[in-house]
Amino acid sequence: MKPARDPRRRRWPGLLLAAALLASGPVAALQLQLDPEGLDGHEQDATQGLLDDAVSMLPPAMAAAIEEPIRIRWDATLAPEVYGRATQRTLLLNRRLLPRLVDGTSAMAASPHPERSELEQLRATLLHEVTHFYDRTGGRGGRLSGDPRLLDLAGWQVGAFPWSRRSGNHFTDRSPDPYELESAREFVAVNMEYFLLDPAYACRRPALHRHFREHFGWAPPADACPAGLPFLDPDPDSDGALTLLDPARVYQVHYLLAEGNEQLMSRWGHGMLRLVVCAPGRERGPDCLLDLQHHRVLSFRAFVDDVQLSSWRGLTGSYPSRLFVLPLDQVVDEYTKVQLRALQSIPLELSQEEIGGVVERAARLHWSYDGEYYFLSNNCAVETFKLLHDGAPRLGRARLRSITPTGLMGKLRKQAVADASVLEDRDEALRLGYRFDSMRERQQAMYAVARERLGLPEAQVEQWLDLPALRRAAWVGKGDMQATAALLLLEQAAQRRRMLEARDELKRRYSDAGDASATEGFGEVADHLRRMLADSGFLSRPAALLEGRPGYGLPQGDELAWMEEEGARRQARLEAMGVSLAEQVRPLLDPRMRDDLENIDANVDALAARMRALHAAQGGLRLP
């Protein structure tokens, strides 16, 4: 930050900004006219020095656009926490700060920005309020706070329906000043403070920094930014809890569609974006499609791994909507093995610049966005559309808006943004990862074998897996080798599904710290579980790891080091607690869920024992 000048140094009264306005051609000079009423000579000089320092930092185009003089007056009626305020023609400063400005005292007892000295905060206030005057003039083609592109970047995003924008700004995490969320006007003024005063703004909010730079044709000196954008990495096989993703390593962005099933909230599928990230050292190109372990999925969802969502709560916005950045293999397993849904991965026709914009926008969402999930108006399709709309302005002009994932896929294809021809050759699509088949077909084939030999009542494998485990137990000891092997694999699939449902039930019940009845009789175990849920919260809201620490926007420098250490600590603690709680938490489950899990365990053990017995009876080696 620029060192403060001595405010007691005498300035020429009414000094203008001609020396600071270096734009080509003659420009008008911004005039800040100090009201001298009630001020002695020292106070006038100190104030003029402050004004000169502040306005010399303004973009020349802004100074030239404000043609009407702005009157500056010290006001004794402003609240103690208010440094300044812009009225129609006057900029008011809080008079309680004047004595310390005159004597050069920079300490401030109750600063809303403790990282700033009092003089710096006064300078920021002047920049903030002058920005309001500029915004009213509609300089350079219109008001900044009414610029649709700035509204996209700021967080007043387009909605699910044409010409609609969200009334609130849900980019609440990692904000430099919550006041920016009050309105688009305040957002512009707050962010101009940081654009002009903080050299790290270009790295912390890169898209907004570019927008201001392009708007004014000018920018102050800025820090050099690292090549990678920070993302929390939940992959247990990664080197650390944090990864720096360089957009230059992203070969393609795919629309990743989980095909629908019979569940009400899943019949239209689930829409995500897949980042085809090249392995380190590999040149960007088609071979990056084979680097599956490096690919990441951008998925908007209400909860991690939720199996069933409440329709009512989804309609009323009771679920948080957040962007999860997940390893591709985890997403493939979740849908193809647990939910028995196939995945289509369709490349989007994006330039490298547009790919960078989407990745950069994803980073902003990852660290700042805490929205509300609505099944009809702010679901995964709408959120994914908004990410594309905001990250690649060309797509914002296309007719892509849809409230269903399959509808968004159709719009992407119709607008020639998505190339679905990659699915035409099924074998090639499977080989190159454009399609991931559901395990449902394999499970149905296994079930058909068991059904033929045992006369099982249900026609479909889903119906069999949905039966209570105690009813399935009636056939455990009746099958031959093939039927028993099929039932064992299906019972293990049922076990995975039920464990996921049990985890979801515990999360719903024990994440509510006010539900005292939930812990009755199980206080210590329930307390451990609550701590585990709290620790795992950073996976959906990475900004939680940095709460209470200074900084905003994308983490930089020391924040990244802290994130790496704290994330690793929490992951280790989660693993340790998970092992210790694996058996202890079962008593906390709903009795029916608990009994079904125990019956599934018994079925798996009995089927495995029968397999060993049948194998031995056929003269084979004894199985372990």
Q: What is the pLDDT of residue 6?
A: 39
Say yes or no: 331 and 403 in one domain. yes
Per the DSSP assignment, residues forming a β-bridge with 270 are 258
Q: What is the pLDDT of residue 23?
A: 38
Q: What residue type is assigned to position 222 of the chain? A: A
Say yes or no: 161 and 276 in one domain. no
> Could you give the 3-state DSSP secondary structure of residue 174?
coil
Q: What is the pLDDT of residue 322?
A: 84
**Strand intervals (E) in 482-570:** none
Q: Is residue 59 part of a domain?
A: yes
How many other CB atoms sit within 10 Å of the CB of residue 593?
16
Say yes or no: 389 and 475 in one domain. no
Q: What is the pLDDT of residue 251?
A: 98
Dist. CA 321–CA 494, nearest whole Å: 28
Cα–Cα separations (whole angstroms), residue 424 to 345, 386, 409: 12, 29, 16
Q: Is residue 18 part of a domain?
A: no
Say yes or no: 126 and 254 in one domain. no
Q: Which domain holds residue 594?
A: 440-617
Q: What is the pLDDT of residue 321?
A: 82
Predicted structure pTM score: 0.83
Dist. CA 252–CA 246, nearest whole Å: 13
Give the pLDDT means over successive 10-residue stretches in the chain (624 positions).
36 36 49 93 93 91 91 94 90 92 63 70 93 85 88 90 79 95 96 96 97 96 93 71 91 94 66 96 95 94 49 54 89 88 96 97 95 82 94 89 91 94 95 93 92 92 92 92 93 87 71 50 61 61 84 92 80 63 69 91 94 82 52
Q: What is the pLDDT of residue 606?
A: 95
> Could you give the 3-state DSSP secondary structure of residue 7?
coil
Beta carbons of 434 and 345 less than 8 angstroms apart: yes
Say yes or no: 426 and 298 in one domain. yes
- Supply the CATH number for residue 48's domain: 3.40.390
Q: Is residue 198 part of a domain?
A: yes
Concatenate the DSSP letters of all residues of 422-459 into one string.
GGSSHHHHHHHTSEE--THHHHHHHHHHHHHHH--S-S
Q: What is the pLDDT of residue 511?
A: 57
Say yes or no: 526 and 427 in one domain. no
Q: What is the pLDDT of residue 305?
A: 39
For helices 405-414 and 380-391, the axis angle rounded to 10 degrees is 40
Give the H/E segment covering residue 271. Answer: strand 270-277
Q: What is the pLDDT of residue 584?
A: 65
Q: Is residue 556 part of a domain?
A: yes
Beta carbons of 343 and 435 less than 8 angstroms apart: yes
Q: Is residue 5 part of a domain?
A: no
Say yes or no: 283 and 342 in one domain. yes
- Cβ burial of 370 (10 Å; 0-12, 13-18, 19+) is middle
Say yes or no: 417 and 444 in one domain. no
Say yes or no: 269 and 414 in one domain. yes
Tell which of 216, 240, 270 closes a domain.
Answer: 216
Say yes or no: 449 and 566 in one domain. yes
Q: What is the pLDDT of residue 139?
A: 65
Tally of structural domains, the chain = 3
Q: Is residue 467 part of a domain?
A: yes
How many other CB atoms sit within 10 Å of the CB of residue 501?
18
Give the tokens for residue 451. 């059904």
Concatenate the DSSP letters of all residues of 307-375 into one string.
S---HHHHHTT-EEEEEEEEEHHHHHHIIIIIS---EEEEEB---HHHHHHHHHHHHHHHHH--EEEBT
Say yes or no: 419 and 448 in one domain. no
Tell which of 165, 189, 216 closes a domain.
Answer: 216
> Could you give the 3-state DSSP secondary structure of residue 229?
strand
Q: What is the pLDDT of residue 513?
A: 46
Tell which of 387, 414, 436 closes a domain.
Answer: 436
Say yes or no: 418 and 479 in one domain. no
Q: Is residue 332 part of a domain?
A: yes
Q: What is the pLDDT of residue 425?
A: 96
Q: Is residue 224 part of a domain?
A: no
